[in-house]
Structure 1
Amino acid sequence: MFATPAFRRTVLTTARFRTATNSKSTSNQTTATLYRPLLTPRFFTHTRKMGKEGVHNLQTKADWDSALEIKDTLVVLDCFATWCGPCKVIAPQVVKFSDNYPTARFYKLDVDEVPDVAQDLGIRAMPTFLLFKDGAKVAEVVGANPKALEAAIKAHVGEPAQ
C-alpha cells in the first residue's frame, strides 16, 4: 500500500464495520452496517506552514480581515475546494511561489469551509487567485494557470528571490 501509516490509521479507524443485533426479530440474526466515515477536523482546522515562507489556511472571516490589513505587502489568496482537481494540481506551484517570492504573503481559502468570504469576493470558479495590495484588489487569475499567476505576482512584487 502506498499510503502513509498515519493516513491508513485514519482510514481504518473512521470507517469500521459494525455488527448489530436486529431487535425486532426473535432470532439472533445480525446485520452488518458500515459506519459513516468521519471527517476528522485535524485535516482542515490548523494553519500549516508549507515551504519557507508558507501558505497559510484561512479558517474564518476574521482571519481574512486580518490578512487583508497587511500594508505594503502583496497578499495572494488561493480560493480552492478540496474536491477540485485543478486546485490539487496547482497547489505545489503555489508553495513554490511562496518560496520564490518571500515578500508576498500567500493564503489558501477553502470556499466550502468559509463560504461567506467566498461570496463576498465573488468567487465563481476554482481555483481563483486574487492579489491584494494595501487592501485593494490589484489582479485576479481564474483557473490553474501557473504562468499567468507568476506573471501577476511579478507585476506587483518584481523578480523572484534567488
Structure 2
Amino acid sequence: MVAEISSPAEFQEKVIQGSASRLVVVDFWATWCGPCIHFAPKFEAMSKDMTDVSFYKVDVDKLSEVTEEQGINCMPTFKVYKGGECVGTVEGASEAKLKELLNSHK
C-alpha cells in the first residue's frame, strides 16, 4: 500500500529513519502532472508486489520544503532510500527503471 507523507516531520520519521530497517521508495508527484497521474496505479501495484519495500508519495506542492531539500526538479521523481540515505533516483515515469533500481538494493 502507498501512504501519503503529510509533513516534513513525517518524511523524516517514515523515510529517513524508516529506511534504517527497510528499503523505502518515495514518489514525488503533483496533481497537475499528467504522467504522475497515469503512473499512480502502477506505483500502487508495485507496492502490493514488493511487500518488503515501503512505498510513499509526496505532493510537491504541499511539501515544497521537503521537495527542495531532496533536490526534486521534475515530476514524477522517484527516490529510493536505504540506511537513512538516498541510494538512487529515477526521473520520469519509467516502471522498468524503478523496478531495476529497487531490485538492485534489495
State the TM bucket, normalised to the shorter chain.
over 0.9
Partner of 2:64: 115
Partner of 1:62: 9
Distance in 2 (CA, whole Å) between partners of 1:130 and 1:124 is 12
Distance in 2 (CA, whole Å) between partners of 1:84 and 1:123 is 14
Distance in 1 (CA, whole Å) between partners of 2:104 and 2:92 is 18
Which segments of 5 or more consecutive residues in structure 2 lack a partner in the other structure? none
Distance in 1 (CA, whole Å) between partners of 2:80 and 2:68 is 17
TM-score (norm 2): 0.95
Partner of 2:54: 105
Structure 1 residue runs of 4+, over 3 Å off? none
Partner letter of residue 108 of structure 1?
A: K
1:86 aligns with 2:50: no
Distance in 1 (CA, whole Å) between partners of 2:102 and 2:2 is 15
1:148 aligns with 2:97: yes
RMSD: 0.7
Which segments of 5 or more consecutive residues in structure 1 lack a partner in the other structure? 1-53, 158-162
Q: Give the superposition deviation at 1:144.
A: 0.5
Residue by residue, what CA displacement relative to the aligned partner does 1:80-106 show, whole Å, maximum 9, x if unpaired?
000000001111111111011111000
TM-score (norm 1): 0.63
Q: Give the superposition deviation at 1:156.
A: 1.2
* Identical pairs, percent: 36
Distance in 1 (CA, whole Å) between partners of 2:52 and 2:94 is 21
Q: Greater helix percent: which structure?
A: 2
Higher radius of gyration, 1 or 2: 1
Q: Secondary structure at the match of 2:105?
A: helix
Correspondences of 1:30-69 after superposition (within 5 Å): 54-67=1-14, 68-69=16-17
